[in-house]
Structure 1
Amino acid sequence: MAQAGMFADCTQADVDAWSVEHANSNRINVRAFLHWSARTRLTRRFELPAALSPGNAPMPDRQCTALLGQVLADHTTPLRSRVAAVILLLYAQPLSRITQFTIDDVVRDGDGVLLRLGDPPSPAPEPGATLLLEYLGQRTNMATATNRESRWLFPGRRAGQPLRSDTLSALVHALGVPATAGRAAAIRQHVLDLPAPIIATALGYHQVTTARLATEAGTTWPNYAPGDRSK
C-alpha cells in the first residue's frame, strides 16, 4: 500500500495488489480504515476485493470453461453483464478493476481485438472479440446529455463516473457467475499454462502474487525467469 506521504495518491490498483498479498486476518482492520479515509476525504472511495476462503475456492477448470461458454452463447441476457463476466472468466480480472476500463482499452489490431490489461495488450479470442465490439456500440447509461461522451467501458448512472463494482457484481451474479471463485479458477489456469512473470505482466497482476499462485497450483514452470527464452 502507499506510504503515508503518498497515501492521497493511492489507487484502487494499489488496494487490489495489497489485498492479494496479505493474509485475510488483516482485511478487517484495513477495510475499516479504507471506509474511514473515504469518509474523511483523505482518499477516494476504495473497495477491498473479496478474499478466497474454503467456501469460495476456485471452481474446477471444466466448470469455469463451461460457464464461459454459457455466457458467450446466451443471447437472451444483457450484453453488459455478459461482457463483464467474459472479462472476469477469461482474464481473471477483479470487478473493481473491470469498472475502471475505458473504451480506449479495447484495441482493434487489424482483424483482431486486444484488451489492454497489461503490457502488451491481451488478444481477445472469438467469440469474445465480437462480443466486445458489439458492446462498444450499445453501452448503457449513455442517454443523458452529460454522459454521452463517456469513455468508461461500463458507464455509471452518475455523469462522468463508471459503474460501481458492487452493481457490476450483482449483474454478473445474476448470470450464475460466482465472481471470486471464477476469477480464482481463471488465474489458476493461466499460471499453469504460462510462467508466472508473463501472466503478471500480461494481466496486470503483481509478480509476487502470480508466483505464489503458481506455487499453490503446482506449476511446471518453477525455474522460469523473465527474459528466459529456453522454456
Structure 2
Amino acid sequence: MLATLCDILDCTPADLIATSAQNLPARRAAGEANRTARHYRGPRTPSVSSAFRHLAPDAAPAEQGGEGTAGRSQTSQTKQEITQAGAFLTWLADRGRTIEHCQQADLDAWHTEKLATRRRAQTFLRWCMRTSRMSRLLLPPQVVHQDQAPLHQHRRLAILRRALNDDSLPLRARVAAALVLLYAQPVTRVVRLTVDDVLDDGATVAVRLGDPPSPLPEPVTDLVRAYIQSRQLLPYASSRSSQWLFPGRQPGQPMNPVSLQVHLREIGVPPQRGRTSAIRQLVLQAPAAVIAKALGYHDKTTTRLVTKAGGTWARYASGDHTR
C-alpha cells in the first residue's frame, strides 16, 4: 500500500512518512488518494501521478494538540477534489482516452451530469492545462446556479407540500427541505444541528434554532420523528458518539453542506432561493427582531429584509411590551 501511494504521489517512502507524521490533514488526504488510486482502472501516465501530488494539501506542521494550518474544511475539500480527479480519469479511460488526449466534447459530457459534484475535478483540470498536460479547453464557470432570486410563495409552498407528502423521496432530504422552506435555515446551519436540538415531550416537537425553540407543525413533527428513528439504522450514525442530526460518513462528523445541497436539488428544492423566499415571508408575519431571535438570524438582517418588503413591522422595537 505504501509503495502504491508513493507511486501516485511521486515521492519516497521517507518523504511520505515524514509528511504523515507532521500533519494530520495531509495524512487524511493521502489516504483518500490511496483509496482513489486503487479504484482507478485507466493507464498510469506521468500526468496521473503528478495530479495526485498536486492535489495533496500544502499544510504546515501541526501545532501541539492541533491539526496544522489545513483545517477540517480544507481537508474535506481536498479529499473531494482527489476523489473527483480520480473519477474523471477513470471515466475518461472508459471512453478510450487519456488526459493527454482529452477533448472539449469529453469535458462537456463530464459536466452534463452531477455538475455540483463533478465540478470538484476542475482543480485538477486547470492544473493539467496550466502545465501543458492536456489541451487548453473550456470549463463551465464556477458559479453555475443563479440561486439568489427568491421563489414565488406559491411555488415554495408547492415544493414544501411535495417534500412533506411524497413518501418516495428520501426521508433525510425531506426533513432538511422542511427546515429550509419553513424556517429559512441555511444548509450550513442545518448540518450543525444535533439530535439534542430536537425537543420531543411526547405531545409536541420543537427544534432549537434560536431562542425560544421553534415548534413544528404536525406534518413536520411526524416526519422528524420518523427520521430520527430511521437515522439509527445508518451505518455511519450507529456510533453513540454521533449526535449530529445529519451525520456524515466520517465518524463523528456532520454531513457536508455541499452534499446536502445536492440531495435537496435532487428532490427539486433550490436551497438558497427557498430559504430567501421563506425568510421574506416570515418577516412579513412577525416583527423582524422576534424572527431573528427565534431562527438564529442577526436582527439587522431581518430588519433589512422587512424594510425592503415594506412590511408593517418595519418600525417594531424589540423588548418587553407587556409593561
Shorter chain as denominator, the TM-score bin is 0.7 to 0.9
1:35-114 correspondence runs (5 A): 41=69, 44-45=72-73, 56-114=148-206
1:62 CA displacement: 1.0
Change (3 A) 1:63 1:156: same
Cα distance in 1 for partners of 2:237, 2:170 equals 23
- Between Structure 1 and Structure 2, the one with more helix by share is 2
Q: Is the aligned partner of 1:151 residue 2:243?
A: yes
Q: What SS does structure 1 have at the residue aligned with 2:283? A: helix
* Residues 20-72 of structure 1 deviation map (CA, whole Å, 9 limit, x = unaligned): xxxxxxxxxxxxxxxx999962755389xxx9x97631111111111111110
Cα distance in 2 for partners of 1:194, 1:145 equals 37
1:144 CA displacement: 4.9
2:276 alignment counterpart: 184
Q: Flag structure 2 segments of 5+ consecutive residues without an equivalent.
A: 1-57, 61-66, 77-142
- After alignment, is 140-149 or 67-76 more displaced? 140-149
TM-score, structure 2 normalization: 0.54
- Aligned match for 1:204, one of 269, 292, 296: 296
Cα distance in 2 for partners of 1:200, 1:37 equals 38
Q: What SS does structure 1 have at the residue aligned with 2:235? A: coil
1:115 CA displacement: 0.5
| Letter in structure 2 aligned against 1:117 | L
1:30 alignment counterpart: none
| Letter in structure 1 aligned against 2:73 | R
1:226 alignment counterpart: 318
* Residues 123-166 of structure 1 deviation map (CA, whole Å, 9 limit, x = unaligned): 00010011001100111774259735411000100000000000
| Letter in structure 1 aligned against 2:201 | D
Instruction: Tell me which of the two structures has the higher relative contact order, counting C-alpha pairs closer than 8 angstroms and 6 or more residues apart.
Output: 1
Cα distance in 1 for partners of 2:238, 2:153 equals 43
| Letter in structure 1 aligned against 2:205 | V
Cα distance in 1 for partners of 2:198, 2:148 equals 30
Change (3 A) 1:145 1:68: closer
The percent identity for this pair of structures is 47
| Letter in structure 2 aligned against 1:198 | V
1:133 alignment counterpart: 225
